Amino acid sequence: MHPVRKQRLYLVLFVVLFSSAAIGLVVYALSGNINLFFPPAEIAAGNAPVGQPIRVGGMVVDGSVQRSDNSLAVRFELTDYEATVPVVYEGILPDLFGEGQGAVASGVLNDEGVLQASEVLAKHDENYMPPEVADALEKSGYDEKGNAK
């Protein structure tokens, strides 16, 4: 074979091998690190897996936020006005988290249907709703104040 061709062949072989290794790595990393969003209604219907990382979003129910007096533990409920999901979290909540506001919690659902959150996200500014929450409300047919559309 012509040396330039041979060089090109090795080059292509290397690129193919290296990219397959990279793709393998990507698939492996992806399989353990993606999580799916569920609106509260679907969790109530039992469609969400127990013990796997998921995200839940909705409006924080008025009067549901209970803080512990001696630790950072906090408990609240998320609703899409069809169903509510209780969430427990230990740590500092984001600045724009509040009752009657949209929030997304990611964590693991336990056997009692309580989400053990490892992260809570709120919106970034006053007039902004996380798109997942907006979508969940759209599906349940309520607006963000809980009035049926």
Partner 1 sequence: MIPEVGHFALILALCLALILALVPAWGAWRRNTAAMALAPGLAIGLLVFVGISFTCLSIAFLQDDFSVKVVAGNSNSLLPPIYKFSAVWGNHEGSLLLWALILCLWTSAVAVFSSQLPLLVLSRVLSVMGAVGVGFISFSLLTSNPFERLLPGAPADGNDLNPLLQDPGLIIHPPLLYMGYVGFSVAFAFAIAALLGGRLDASWARWSRPWTNVAWAFLSLGIMLGSWWAYYELGWGGWWFWDPVENASFMPWLAGTALLHSLAVTEKRGLFKSWTLLLAIFVFSLSLLGTFMVRSGVLTSVHAFATDPARGMFILLFLGVVVGGSLTLYAFRAPAVSSRVAFAWVSRETLLLLNNVFFLVATLTVLFGTLFPLIMDALGQGKYSVGPPYFNAVFVPLMALLVPFMGLGLVSRWKKDDPRRWRAELGVPAVVALACGVTFPLLGEHYNVWVALAVVLSAWLVLGLFKDFWYRVRGAATLGRGLRRITPSYWGMFMAHLGFAACVTGIVATSQYSIEHDLKMSPGDSEVLAGYEFRFIELTPVRGPNFVADEARFEVLHDGQPVASLAPQKRRYLATGSVMTEAAIDAGLFRDLYVAMGEPIGQDGAWAMRLHYKPLVRWMWLGAILMGLGGFTTALDKRYRRQRSPARVSGGEALHGA
For residues 74 and 128, give the distance between their C-alpha atoms in angstroms, rounded to a whole number: 24
| Helix, strand, or coil (residue 122) | strand
In the chain, the amino acid numbered 41 is A
> Which of 40, 55, 76, 78 contacts partner 1 by CB under 8 A?
55
For the stretch 100-116, what's the b/e string if a residue is b when 16 or more beta carbons lie within 10 angstroms of its beta carbon? ebbbbbbbbbeeeeebe
Stretch that binds partner 1, among 29-37, 77-85, 109-117, 138-146 (CB under 8 A): 29-37
Under rule CB under 8 A, residue 71 binds partner 1: yes
Task: Kindly list the residues in this chain that would bind partner 1 in the complex (CB under 8 A).
Answer: 3-4, 7, 10-11, 14-15, 18-19, 22, 25-26, 28-30, 32-37, 55, 67-72, 91-93, 95-96, 106, 121, 124-126, 130-132, 135
